[in-house]
Amino acid sequence: MNRMTPYMFIAPAALVMALALFYPIGYMMWGSFRDWDPTQNISETEFVGMANYVRLWGDAFFWESFSVTLIFAFTVVVVEMVIGVGLALLLDRNIRGMSVLRTLFILPMMIAPVVVGLVWRFMFHQTYGTFNRFLDWIAGWRIWEWLGIESPIQPVDWLGQNPLLSVIIADIWQWTPFIFILSLAALQSLPRSALEAARIDGATGWQQVWFIKLPLMAPVLVVTMLLRLIDAFKVLEVILVMTGGGPGLSTEILALRIARTAREFRELGEAAAMSNYLLMLLMLLTLGMFAFNRWTEARSRKLKFAAEEEG
**3-state percent breakdown (helix, strand, coil) of the chain, nearest 5:** 75, 0, 25
- Smallest CA-to-CA distance from 225 within 284, 290, 303, 270 is with 290
Is-contact 270 52, C-beta < 8 A?
A: yes
- What's residue 293's pLDDT? 84
- What's residue 121's pLDDT? 93
Look up the pTM and report it: 0.87
pLDDT profile of the chain (311 residues), mean per 10? 80 90 90 86 86 92 94 96 93 76 84 93 87 77 69 79 93 94 89 79 83 88 93 92 89 93 90 94 92 83 70 57
- What's residue 258's pLDDT? 94
Q: How many residues does the chain have?
A: 311
- What's residue 73's pLDDT? 95
What's the distance, Cα to Cα, between the start and end of the chain in Å?
Answer: 45
- What's residue 282's pLDDT? 93
Main-chain dihedrals φ then ψ at residue 34, nearest 5 degrees: -130, 155
- What's residue 103's pLDDT? 79
Q: How far apart are CA 24 and CA 26, in angstroms?
A: 5
Helix (H, G, I), strand (E, B) or coil at 46: strand
User: What DSSP string describes 203-245?
Assistant: --HHHHIIIIIHHHHHHHHHHHHHHHHHHHHH--HHHHHHTTT
